Amino acid sequence: MAQVHKIPSSYNANSYLIAAKRPILVDVGMHCELALRSIEKIIVPNALEYIVLTHCHYDHTFGALELAEQTGARIVIHKNDADLLSDDHATVSDLFGVSTPSIMPDVILQGGEMLNLGDADLGVIHTPGHTPGSICLYGSKQLFSGDTVFPNGSFGRTDLKGGDLNQLIKSIKLLTTRDVETLYAGHGDVTSKNVNAQIRDSLRFAEQVL
């Protein structure tokens, strides 16, 4: 697996640059400039191939349109969240008191695809529950989990528009079938400590809430 760099963002939403032969960014955060300044220290920004959005929420996606314009990267999202990208309520941008930019994705995912990064592959896992079109990316025992699971047995909230706890539990169950060495979540620290057990804890805690 190529090197993964955590890109500073705002509102604590994490963004990750995977510096593969065909580099991709997983989520952007709210400020394009902030992301771009970090990216250009690692790769030539025009080399950025994809901006993969783990879900539609504003704190992960707001900078995507501008960053795509500046780098030429293609915006990728699951079909169930694609239409929600310009919905202020679904993206929760109304909670931030602003209107979301109309982001038109270039690539629509169904789940089950393989993203070819040249020297690495990442599988797309559809993990609805936090939002209808949430996805995780998995390859070489690395999991990019968006807001589906977080470290230490935490998991994404399901009380926002499109959220569904039953679906989230099914999605986390699916993740427990993967062998994960490093978890790159949408919030919190990157962790490589007993990650499979951490994800099993997320499942157990989510089931307790039901």
Distances (CA, A) of 30 to 6, 26, 57, 172, 176: 15, 13, 10, 26, 30
The CB-of-131 to Zn ion minimum distance in angstroms stands at 7
Binding mask 13-42 for Zn ion (x = CB under 5 A): x-----------------------------
Contacts of 117 by beta carbon, 8 Å cutoff, 6+ apart: 2, 18, 20, 21, 22, 23, 24, 49
E strands, 27-106, in order: 50-52, 74-78
Residue 147 is a binding residue for Zn ion (CB under 5 A):
yes
Nearest distance, CB of residue 9 and Zn ion, angstroms: 10
Residue 93 is given by DSSP the state G
In the region spanning residues 179 to 208, those forming contacts with Zn ion, defined by CB under 5 A, are: 186
Total interface residues for Zn ion by CB under 5 A: 4
Task: Give the nearest distance from C-beta 22 to Zn ion in angstroms.
Answer: 26
- 43-62 positions binding Zn ion, by CB under 5 A: 57
Q: Rule CB under 5 A: say whether 81 interacts with Zn ion.
A: no
Asked if 132 is part of the footprint of Zn ion (rule: CB under 5 A), the reply reads no
**Residue nearest Zn ion, CB atom distance:** 57
What secondary structure letter does DSSP report for 161?
Answer: T
Retrieve residue 124's tokens.
């797309």
Residues that bind Zn ion in the complex, under the rule CB under 5 A: 13, 57, 147, 186
